Every structure is written in C-alpha cells, then in structure tokens.
Amino acid sequence: MISLRNARRVIALEPYPRLYGETLLNMKANGLADRVVLVNACLGATDREVCADFSNLEEYAPF
C-alpha cells in the first residue's frame, strides 16, 4: 500500500501486543521501518480508555 500510493510516511495502529511485535519484525524485514510508525494502541470515537479483550483473537488471527 505504501508503494502504491508513494507515501513518504505512514502511521499505523496495532493494539494487540503479539501482532504489534510481529508487524515490527515484518516492517524491518521488508525495509519499511523508516517509513512506517507503528503505535501499540487503538483509536476510538470517544476520548476515554477502554479494556480490550484479546482472549479469543486466535479465532480471527490464527498465527
């Protein structure tokens, strides 16, 4: 997506800690670490903290 749009900088959010770590490794392996800022967080429609339940995430992302 970055190369298709010729983006110079991308800010990405990944709230799940395991996927965050895997995404960082993937970015480095593909030479994107200098163009992508990955934040271990999520974004919502209201200004408040929420508790995310990742207990059944394996059903949706089985890796």
* Model pLDDT for residues 7-35, shown as the tens digit of each residue: 788 999 999 888 899 999 999 999 989 99
Q: Given pLDDT bands bounded at 50, 70 and 90, which one contains residue 3?
A: low
Against a cut of 0.85, is the pTM above it? no
Amino acid at 31: G
**How many residues are listed for the chain in this entry?**
63
DSSP state of 4: H
H or E element at residue 19: helix 17-29
Please give the share of the chain, as a percent, with pLDDT higher than 90. 37
Which phi and psi (to 5°) does residue 44 adopt?
-130, 180
CB 27 within 8 A of CB 33: yes
Query: Which token pair is 26?
Result: 């993937």
